[in-house]
Amino acid sequence: MAPDPSDEIAYDRRRLRQWARGRARSAGLERRDLLKLFAAVSAAGPLGLTATEAAARESTDAASPGIVKPLPPEVFTVRGTNAETNFASLRGTGLLTPTDHFFVRNHTATPRIDAADWRLKVWGGGLTGGPVEFGYDELRALPSVSRTLFVECAGNGRSFYTTQQGQQVTGTAWTLGAVGVARWRGVRLADVLHRAGIGRHAVDVLPRGLDDEVVSNGVNLGRVRRPLPVTKALDDVLLAYEMNGEPLPPDHGHPVRVIAPGWVGISSVKWVGDIEVSDEPLYTPWNTDMYRLFGAAYPPGGSAPLTRQTLKSAFELASGATLPAHRRTVLTGRSWSGGAPVRRVDVSTDAGSTWRRARLHDAPRRGSWVRWSTPWVPHERGPAVLLARATDATGRVQPPTAVHNTQGYLFDAVVRHPVTVV
C-alpha cells in the first residue's frame, strides 16, 4: 500500500531509504561528495564547529557579517554571518517583531537584487509542460494572502545543550533569539505551482536561493536549497514579498522568499530565483547531512529530515539582569511552537521549586507566538533563576532536559535564566 503522502515523517523516512539505496536524485551534488559530508556529520565532524570554536570565530567576524541593515548591539548579537535578536529588546514591541529587530541567518551574505530584474523560473519533470517564468509584477498581480508566522532557525537555543546540559554540539551558538514573528504577505506557492502546470506525478518541490554558493570543508554545496514534499508545498507555503507591511528588505529575502509555516527556518528559502518541481525524490545537503538529528538517541544514519519546529519560551530580559528587591517587577516573555499552539505558560522564580501560571496576552495561534507576563516581588537579595515552561494545545510540556543531537537542533527544554536581585 502506498504511504499516506500527508504524513511528513513517513514521507521523509521513505525518502531517506530511497536516497540511501541510490533511488533519490541528489540535486546538484555528486553522490560521492554527499557521502563524504554525510559521514563527516554522522561522526559529529567537521561540517560544523563546536560552540566554543564558533564563538571564537564569531568575535573575529563581527565586523563584516554580510548583513545590510544596522545591527545595534542593544538589539543584536552578531554571530559569524548571522545576527541574533536580543530578547530583552522585544519588551513592549508588540506581537510582531519589528523588521529592524528581526534576526538574520545567512549561510553566506545578503545579495542585492533589484525586483525589476528579478524572474522566478519554475521548471522540472514534475510539470506537465515546459518551464514557466514569473516577473515580480506578475507575482504581485496574483491573489494575495497575509499571515502572521514565525521564522525560526532549527538551531535556535543550541548553546543551552552546552551551557545547561554540558554536551558538545556543532554550529552557531544561538541563545533563544534566532526567531521572529512577522506579518507576511504574498501568494500561495500552490497558486504559482498550479499556474506553472504541476502534474499529479510531482514528488518534490525545490526552491533555490540567489545568494552565493556555500562552500564547506572544501566541498561546494551549491546554492541554498531544500526540497519540500509536494504535500507541504501545495498546503500552506507562501511566496512572500512583504514583511510587516513593507516590501521585503534585502536581509530577509528581497524581492521574494518562501515562508513554510511551522517548519525549520531553512525551509523558508530567501531570495528565491527558481523552483524545481521534480517527478523523483530529491536530496540536497540541506536534508541529508544538515538539518537531521544525529547522536546516541538516533539511528546511525540520523533521523528523518527536520520538519516542524519545537516548543520554546523566552523571557524579555537580559541574561544576568539585575532586579530590585522588594519592588514589583513585571516579568514578560514569549512562547511558541511549530506544532499545536501554546495554550499555557508557567513561570518559576525559584529555580523550579514553585510555579505560577502566567497571563497570556494573545490568543493561542498556530505558527505564531503568545506574549505573557507575571508580576514578581523578589524579597531575597542575591542570585536567582527564572524559568518559563510552555504547554501546547495537545498537552505537550517543555521538558527539563532536551535529547542531545550532535548539531544541537530543536532544543526544547526549559531554559534557566539567571538574574541578580539587588
Q: Which residues bind ligand MTE (CB under 6 A)?
A: 102-107, 151, 153, 209, 211, 224, 252, 265-266, 268-271
Q: How far is the CB of 57 from ligand MTE (least distance, A)?
A: 17
User: Please, which residue, 134 or 374, has the CB nearer to ligand MTE?
Assistant: 134
**Do residues 51 and 168 make contact, with C-beta atoms less than 8 angstroms apart?**
yes
Mention every residue, 6+ apart, whose C-beta is less than 8 A from residue 78. Answer: 58, 61, 62, 65, 71, 84
Q: How far is the CB of 340 from ligand MTE (least distance, A)?
A: 22
> How crowded is the C-beta side of 248, counted as CA atoms within 13 Å?
28
Per DSSP, the residues of 270-328 read SSEEEEEEESS-EE-GGGTTSSS--STTS-TT--SPP-B---EEEESS-TTEEE-TTS-
Q: How far is the CB of 19 from ligand MTE (least distance, A)?
A: 21
Q: How far is the CB of 208 from ligand MTE (least distance, A)?
A: 8
Q: How far is the CB of 248 from ligand MTE (least distance, A)?
A: 9
Mention every residue, 6+ apart, whose C-beta is less than 8 A from residue 51. Answer: 158, 159, 161, 162, 168, 169, 170, 171, 173, 408
User: Please, which residue, 179 or 277, has the CB nearer to ligand MTE?
Assistant: 179
**Do residues 217 and 114 make contact, with C-beta atoms less than 8 angstroms apart?**
no
- Distance from first CA to last CA of the chain, Å, rounded? 65
- Distance between CA 71 and CA 59 in Å, rounded? 14
User: Please, which residue, 19 or 174, has the CB nearer to ligand MTE?
Assistant: 174
User: Please, which residue, 154 or 323, has the CB nearer to ligand MTE?
Assistant: 154
- Distance between CA 83 and CA 78 in Å, rounded? 4
- Distance between CA 251 and CA 360 in Å, rounded? 31
Residue 95 grid coordinates: 506581537
Mention every residue, 6+ apart, whose C-beta is less than 8 A from residue 420. Answer: 320, 321, 322, 323, 382, 383, 384
Residue 133's identity, in one-letter code, is E
Spell out the alpha helix ranges (H) of 136-256: 136-140, 159-163, 189-196, 230-233
User: Please, which residue, 107 or 344, has the CB nearer to ligand MTE?
Assistant: 107
User: Please, which residue, 209 or 262, has the CB nearer to ligand MTE?
Assistant: 209
Q: How far is the CB of 417 from ligand MTE (least distance, A)?
A: 23
Per DSSP, the residues of 377-418 read ---S-EEEEEEEEEEETT--B--SSPPP-TT-----SPPPEE
User: Please, which residue, 309 or 348, has the CB nearer to ligand MTE?
Assistant: 309
Residue 265 grid coordinates: 527556518
User: Please, which residue, 252 or 344, has the CB nearer to ligand MTE?
Assistant: 252
Residue 123 grid coordinates: 521548471
Q: How far is the CB of 41 from ligand MTE (least distance, A)?
A: 16
Q: How far is the CB of 81 from ligand MTE (least distance, A)?
A: 8
Q: How far is the CB of 388 from ligand MTE (least distance, A)?
A: 22
Q: How far is the CB of 236 from ligand MTE (least distance, A)?
A: 17
User: Please, which residue, 81 or 303, has the CB nearer to ligand MTE?
Assistant: 81
Residue 390 grid coordinates: 510552555
User: Please, which residue, 291 or 315, has the CB nearer to ligand MTE?
Assistant: 291
